[in-house]
Structure 1
Amino acid sequence: MYSDSVLTLNNEVEIPRVQMGTWLINNDNVKKVVQRAISVGYRGFDTAKDYGNELGVGKGIWNADVERSDIFLTTKIPTAVKDYNGTVKAIDDALDRFSLDYIDLLLIHSPQPWIEVNRVEDRHFEGNLENWRAMEEAVKAGKVRAIGVSNFLIEDVNNILENGTIKPAVNQIGVNIGNTPEELIKYCQSKDIIIEAYSPLAHGRLFDNETLKKYAKKYQVSVAQLMLRYDCQLGCVVLPKTDILDEMKENRQLDFEISDEDMKKLKQLKF
């Protein structure tokens, strides 16, 4: 099945192409969501300290009937942390919350603290390098298998590439039909950095869009499946989120191909 396929990161670690996002799923409910997702085949889960549900995600993994080595777990450094010691503590605290020995993928959640996003010009280059230094040490210590970034622009990625010793494995950014940052995607891919697409379904706001309905009908799929397949054909890992079992199953059924012509047309759409 297409959704069971993996991509290979630039450090040879394999990452599931279709994973489950957990943003806005509260800590009390996320354990059941993770277990439900695992039961229908999901093997990758994306969370963050700032989501407030790492403990529940860890419990879901612990109580699932699969080996830990079969699960790919991603979490992120809190955006307010922009120093070395704080990053070291954040990594150890995350491992404690998960009650796990290692994290598969650890990301800098944002180049700027949330309170500064779209408000200040400071990209915190030095602070992000302090994050990165601690994260590189975590890789060498076996606490983390791969490291990357999230919400990074080209200048932010360059800062890490020019000053770090480990290349970012991924850049997790928003990508969906109607929002395709082609320049950033192509740049990262040219540096062997995989793009992870968060909010690939645009929070469901396009499910009733008549244009997308026509394309979905052409391929005999749902609008959600069309949107996920679009991101996959861009070369992205996708992180759809749902707590509904039937939708979990549907989001993994992506064994169809959008034509080159239709991909070009879909890239041009703006909503």
Structure 2
Amino acid sequence: MQLNELLATDAWIPSLPEAVQQILAELQRDEPDLRRVNELMSCEVGLTVRILRLVNSARYSAGGGVATVEAATALLGLRATRQLVQAAAVGGAFKGVPGVDLAEFWRHSLDVAKIAQSLAAEFKLDTGAAFTAGLLHGVGDLILKMAMPERPCLQPAFPSDDRRYEAELADLGYAYPEVGSAFASRWHFPAEIVEALRYQCDPTGGKDVGFSSLLYLSSWSARAHELDIDGDAMLDTFPHEAAQAVGLTDPQRLCDGQIIAWTPIDEARDFS
């Protein structure tokens, strides 16, 4: 299947849910009514659960966990609330993808998101956008799997397949970054997230080299964890060019097995 054919088929790219459209429409008003936003969000139980899980996973709270939608929106502010609503809706948009353990997929994606957020804070980049981009980085692969469930290059589990990008390019002529970027654009995610997804495996190819490089580094670190690669073995494959683009001078920073609190499977199940 050609890329333009895939992207033109509505069956493979989920539509933005109506409830989410209403929430985003309110958030886009000149003077959004946060009480109305909270009411709309609270009416969608699955969305609420995923939003609260993401808020707490992202460590937005300085103290204890965030337990209500009202507390979440008060803490986040309008821009971050918008991004998190969109990101949480993605979890509900992909159900029953053939051959995919979605809890494992989102567990890995949350790890990438947490690493991206940690690096963004260190290098003065937008932490909310970094977290969202990390969470969405593999969505294009889910779309490919729905469209072509038997394709050989899509058979290994995404979290542990460190040759996924190259295999898809060789087999299809395109890969999950292009598909994920198109999905993010269709769901009206911010431009920096759309571009970061597009160039996450080729970070020097886009305009915002720093942000796409950050996503590349986060994915590399999380996948090394999946494959139980650490220490000197990680240093041997360290992506120095991407590190330089964000100002990371200490390779050990990403080779530390304690870089984040790795996501437990139960946390991912709440999201999937």
Q: Larger strand proportion, structure 1 or 2?
A: 1
